[in-house]
Amino acid sequence: MRLRIQQFFNSNVGYLPFKIIEGIFGIVSLSLYSHLLFPDEYGLYGIVNSSVMITYLLSFGWFYFVAMRFIGEIDSVKERKIFFSNMLSLQGIIYGLLLFIYVSISLVLIYGFSFNPWLLMAYVLFFVGYMFNQFYINLLLYVQKRFLNVILVVFVAVLKPILVYGLYIAGVESLYILFLGHGLVDILLGGIAFRYIRPYQYFDKASIQKEQFKSYLQYGFPLIGLTLTMYVLNISDRFILRFFYSEYVVGLYVPNYSIASATFLMIAYGLSRGFYPRLLGAWAKDAKDEAGRILSASIKTYILLGLPAATGMFLLSKDIGQIIIAKEYEAGYPVIGIVAFGMFFLNLADYMNKEWELSKNTKPIFINSLIAAAANLSLNILLIPRYGLIMAAYTTLFASIIYFLMSGIRRKKILEIIVEKKDFISIIFANVVMCICVIISSVLPIQGYILIISKGMIGVISYFATWLAIRKILR
């Protein structure tokens, strides 16, 4: 039984069911928050959340990329001491710098502009929790504690909306409930991950090495730029919407955008957590044929699940919005489907980049992402002031396609990626049949949520039934 569970976790879809659970609770959270907060409050949360992400990437985010790539190569206690000693010392330096900068800025805001000090403290709690969550919970995957990673990830998704609603019921001001609720859950469960990894027990001053700093920076720094530009690609639109419009418009945009991004985060992360450790293992053994098969199978699985997901969300954007988000956010419903296709191409490009990551040459990825982010930012500045939040979604889609094309054309081509024609034919044909069935289902003599749910079920059934039939015919 234990062997079967382990085999399932190591398959391409081993983590997908748990990521689906996380994604479902993430969407439940979006729905809940849209009913608890006014759009301008949601807009403020979106701006702060985006700012926290950028700060994390510039300060601590690159450590995760380094850890993910190098920790699997650690074979001895001595190497583990070197790794964690250098990691913790660098993190300590950055903590100190961030604290100094934040305290200085806070004093200016409090005494110069009468800014609410309690809100600033809530931001700190939110950031610290985010850091613990992103780094230590995800790191569990690469220190052979994968089941604990799954448990904590699911609990994070479940506990956040529960605590946020509890704070709301307790009478906490709505402006604070997301920052406090998310921060506390992330710190608690991220702390559990930290306790299990126990990096502190390997800390040794004598193991801190300047050369090690350099090797980590050479690998991690381009990925800082990569991830930062990817966030520019994804979140610059909300800052520009805030600049030209208001937090209210940002509030209309963010939850609708988040539905699409959460769905594809669920699919992409659920698949990558199953295949990427195996891909790293095959690469470490210099088994390039095996690595190529793993990557090829992963691409096929992603397209099989991702394309109908994007298409369905585009066709049913309004229906999805009506089910999940409060009516006050209705003007942003079209964003869901447009961004869904953007997320599809963005995550597909990530598969094209794996060979660069494996060969530790991340500069081409950074260049591709920088060009795509520059295109996105330029289009946002030119078009958002004139056409508003719907155009912000289209610029995201356009920039994601640019990124995918550049990644595919400039691919390293170390591994042989083979996706057979019959796979593409069956997926595309099934997607077309699904579209027809969903459009026709609009005339069913039912209304409301029953009609919306029926459309979704018809789409899923028609897609997979057609896919299986075509596969059988082409066998």
3-state SS string for 103-151: HHHHHHHHHHHCCCHHHHHHHHHHHHHHHHHHHHHHHHHHHCCHHHHHH
**Alpha-carbon dihedral of residues 107, 109, 110, 114, nearest 10 degrees?**
160
Q: Which whole-number Å values give the CA distances from 120 to 125, 178, 205, 323, in the listed order?
A: 9, 13, 34, 34
Cα 183 to chain centroid distance, Å, stands at 18
Q: What pLDDT is stored for residue 53 in this prediction?
A: 80
Contact 185, 130 (CB under 8 A): no
pLDDT given for residue 343 in this prediction: 92
Note the pLDDT of residue 199.
Answer: 84
Instruction: Compute the distance between CA of residue 396 and CA of residue 241 in angstroms, rounded to an integer.
Output: 13
Provide the pLDDT for residue 83: 81
Please work out, in degrees rounded to the nearest 5, the angle formed at the alpha carbon of residue 311 by the alpha carbons of 232 and 240: 25
Angle at 91 between CA 88 and CA 95, to 5 degrees: 135
What are the boundaries of each domain within the chain? 2-419, 420-475
Residue with the two structure tokens 């289009």: 379
Distance separating alpha carbons of residues 46 and 58, to the nearest angstrom = 19
pLDDT of 336 reads 94
Cβ atoms 122, 184 nearer than 8 A: no
Q: Please give the Cα distance from 229 to 222 (Å, whole number).
A: 11
For tokens 């604990």, the residue is: 148
Give dist(CA 67, CA 223) in Å, integer: 12
| CA distances from residue 79 to 2, 265, 404 in whole angstroms, order as listed | 30, 33, 37
Q: pLDDT tens per residue, the chain (475 residues)?
A: 554 555 555 544 556 666 677 778 888 888 899 888 888 888 888 888 888 887 887 777 777 777 766 776 676 777 788 888 888 887 788 888 888 888 888 888 888 777 888 888 888 899 888 888 888 887 887 777 777 888 888 898 899 999 999 999 999 988 789 999 999 999 999 889 988 888 888 888 877 777 777 777 777 766 666 666 666 666 778 889 988 888 889 999 989 998 898 888 888 877 776 677 778 778 878 788 888 888 888 888 899 999 999 999 999 998 888 888 888 888 899 999 999 999 999 989 888 888 887 777 777 887 888 888 888 889 999 999 989 899 999 999 999 999 999 888 887 777 777 777 888 889 999 999 999 999 998 887 777 778 878 888 998 999 999 998 988 887 7
From its phi and psi, is residue 448 left (phi > 0), alpha (psi between -120 and 50) or beta?
A: left
Q: Please give the pLDDT value at position 382.
A: 92
pLDDT at 12: 47
